[in-house]
Amino acid sequence: MSTARDAHAKLVRELAAHNYRYYVLDDPAVTDAAFDALLRDLRALEAAHPELVSPSSPTQRVGGEARSQVAKVKRKTKMFSLDNAYSQADLGEFLRRVRDGLPEGQVPTFTVEPKLDGASVEVVYEGGALAMATTRGDGEIGEDITPNLRTLRNVPLGIAHPGTLTLRGEIVIYRKDLDLLNEARLAEGLEPYANPRNAAAGAIRMLDPREVAKRPLRAVFYQAVEGPEQRASHADTLDWLAALGLPTHRKQARVSADGIADAIAEIDAARASYPFETDGAVVKVDAYRQQDMLGATSKFPKWAVAYKFAAERASTRVRDIVIQVGRTGALTPVAELDPVELSGTTVSRVAPQPGAPREARRAPRRSRAHREGRRDHPPGGVGRARGAPRLGRAVRPAHDLPSLRRRGHLPPPRGGPPRARARGRPPLREPRVPGAGQRSDLPLHATLRDGPREPGRGARGAARERGPRA
């Protein structure tokens, strides 16, 4: 029995180390096949010795059943928001308040770090084991998402800390993972996610952890509530968390007041190379003792401020507007652009997002268009450049299919309307969605006035024509 227990402990440590290298350091040491082989060995060992199974085992990450409801959890320490600064003048006012709030002779140092834009969470470890995870909620009460957070493979299920450790962080999706996720959604006829934050926030609150496990979610921690009990400063606590094997951004800089502007500029210049999205920099008084002296208002801590970066703009030319047909018959207009660099990404195809201005859906071919957005919020539509001509009719969004059917542009849904079925009429057959190279009987051009579109340009067909992803 001791031999099996030792083998089990060794496999758990080895799998945890490989997860850390792959999901946190982005430096895998083994192939996926080798990792899967280790996981199979662990499952076989636990099947032979069920008494070895524990909540911290890698085989227990994904639960087997969906929840019917979400429990509310009241946290011990409130999660504050951060006050914002948009200019050097705002930043100077923050520094003045800090100096005025500290006793005479106290000279603060600061930590400057990236401001991640994801879904805020709190994660609690008890006795070294992951015990609880909650959403931010209103700061005092959040939703229990523990089964969902356990599916995130960059979050260790156990750490080498015997007491209670309460962490604050963000659930994010890396840029490369969002690109792959959106390609799959377009292939299924679904609207792409506008930005990683929306995708992460929706996924982490799902009721079924098995569905959450399919999403490329990661956690990045930036604060420990019990930090003052372990270290003297915030920067030291971030180093300690990283040493425990917890995922942190590892981009912090400890500077004096005179070095804050340069540290913010360095983050702004380097953030295009970060795997996650950022929309600013967070400036914090580093020493916990001075944080306690400054205190907080009812909404914000007085020892921290979020400096928000300005939005980026780029102009390009609309080459064409194509209509993608999803497997359910949903129509999604997609603008093909001359490639343009924006927020560290080459943009060549975009789709209007719900709520976009009508002129964003009327940009004709060969017109000039501009795109604007922060790096963490790539815009989901095309804006008509000043002076560009308008089309006489906008592309109807996919959710307006009932209106299209009433006007005769689309056939009725499968089975016909309910009244027709009640009278015994034969059901109407849903037309097959065409693939690449196939003709379609759907009048896809009916919602545009500048000429018919070539049929057969479904999402899967378009993907095949573009070739495999590089």
Residues assigned a catalytic role = 115
State the residue for tokens 């930590």: 111
For 390-425, b where at least 16 C-beta lie within 10 A, e where not — what string? Answer: ebeebbbbbeebeebeeeebbbeeeebeeeeeeeee
SS3 395: coil
Would you give the distance in Å from CA 466 to the centre of its chain? 26
Query: How far apart are the C-alpha atoms of 216 and 15, rounded to whole Å?
Result: 19
Beta bridge partners of 370: 315, 383
Query: How far apart are the C-alpha atoms of 431 and 441, rounded to whole Å?
Result: 8
Among residues 195, 179, 104, 201, the alpha carbon closest in space to that of 378 is found at 195
SS3 451: coil
At 66, phi and psi to the nearest 5? -80, 150
Query: How far apart are the C-alpha atoms of 197 and 118, rounded to whole Å?
Result: 5
Would you give the distance in Å from CA 34 to the centre of its chain? 28
- With the C-alpha atoms ordered 417, 423, 425, 427, is the resulting torsion angle positive or negative? positive
Tokens of 434: 């065409």
Query: How far apart are the C-alpha atoms of 281 and 271, rounded to whole Å?
Result: 10
DSSP string, 115-184: EE-SEEEEEEEETTEEEEEEE-TTSSEEEB-HHHHTT-TTS-SB-S--SEEEEEEEEE--HHHHHHHHHH
